[in-house]
Amino acid sequence: MKTVFEYTKGMNETITSYCPGCTHGIAHRLVMECLEEKGLLDDTIGVAPIGCSINSHRFMDVDMCESAHGRAPAIATAIKRVHPDKFVFTYQGDGDLASIGTCEIVQAAHRGEKFCTFFINNAIYGMTGGQCAPTTLIGQKTTTTIEGRTVAHNGKPIRMSELLATIDGAKYVERVALDSPAHVRQAKKAVMRAIEVQEKKLGFAFVEFLSTCPTNWGLSPVKACEWLRDNMIPYYPLGVIKCPEEVK
């Protein structure tokens, strides 16, 4: 019999603690699958954020640490200095990266740090219970925007990929989505390219995953994928924003 699919060795055989329908699990698996295919699992150091995915180290079977809120890029900066030939990544949510940690992510990109950041954008704070994030869409109801986010009060949602792509040290920037099998396959290619950017020491690589948060959005897992497709993708367009010749 021919094996057509195997659970990646990069993930523990544990059921994740994420809510049903949450796409963290898919993003975890994609990153670990790619590292396994690249033969990098033994030589990887990951940094987990504050947020739901602070638990990612329970599921990803690589060396990992937790970070103070938003500071993962600073921690990864130093890890890469101590272990320049290891694969180093941060895995961060939108509260962590696009709010409290904007300074660290922008400056890590600005220095052209040679690690990868996998950014989970689900337009809301998950772990703390559904508060407004900088990525929350206009009109979206959260526990701190109960009538829906307004431009007048909160401004428009921040597009981190576009922002980071303006920085010279960010060599690879792509936005993908986890709402459909086709998009998931595309996402895997993006993760692969980001890893290659680091392997070739070209600079900072960034992949943004549009993700779901069915619990805090108040939607079923299927409806959440539809909501992502109908609302997030139009505002956060998918695709490669920046890619160096060497990994095309």
Partner 1 sequence: MAKKLMKGNEAFAKAAICAGCRYYFGYPITPQSELTEYMSHALFEVGGEFVQAESELAAISMIYGAGLSGGRVLGSSSSPGIALMQEGISFACSTEVPFVMINVSRGGPGVGTIQPGQADYYQATRGGGNGDYHVIVYAPASIQEGVQMVYDAFDTADKFRNPVMILADGMLGQMMEPVELPPMKEPLKEEDIPKVKPWALCGKGVRGHKNVIKSLELKPEALEERINAYWPKFDQMRKELTSYEAYNLEGAEVVFVAYGSTSRIVREAIDLLAKDGIKAGLIRPISLWPYPYDAFDKIGKECKAVISCELSMGQMIDDVKLGAKDRWPVSLIGKVGGMLLTPVEIAEGAKKQLGVK
* Residue 141 CB, nearest approach to partner 1 (Å): 28
Q: Compare residues 54 and 202 and give the one whose CB is closer to partner 1.
A: 54
CB of 60 to partner 1, least distance (A): 8
Instruction: Name the residue nearer to partner 1 (CB basis): 23 or 77.
Output: 77
Which is nearer to partner 1, 91 or 236 (by Cβ)?
A: 91
Minimal distance in Å, beta carbon 72 to partner 1? 8
H/E segment holding residue 171: strand 170-177
Q: Minimum Å distance from CB 66 to partner 1?
A: 5
Are the C-beta atoms of residues 117 and 90 closer than 8 Å to each other?
yes
Nearer to partner 1, 31 or 123 (CB): 31
User: Which residues have C-beta within 8 Å of that of residue 170, sequence separation ≥ 6?
Assistant: 109, 112, 164, 203, 204, 205, 206, 242
Our CB check for partner 1 shows the closer of 106 and 225 to be 106
CB of 42 to partner 1, least distance (A): 3
Contact status, residue 112 vs residue 171, Cβ threshold 8 Å: yes
β-bridge mates for residue 239, sequence order = 175
- For residue 36, give the H/E element and its range: helix 24-37
Smallest separation, CB 198 to partner 1 (Å): 14
**How many angstroms separate the CA atoms of 175 and 196, rounded?**
17
Provide the binding-site residues for partner 1, judged by CB under 8 A. Answer: 41-45, 47, 54-55, 57, 61-68, 71, 74-79, 81-83, 86-87, 103-104, 107, 111
CA 175-189-135 angle, to 5 degrees, is 15
Q: How far is CA 103 from the centre of its chain?
A: 17
Q: Which is nearer to partner 1, 108 or 191 (CB)?
A: 108
Nearest CA-CA partner of 27 in 237, 135, 187: 187
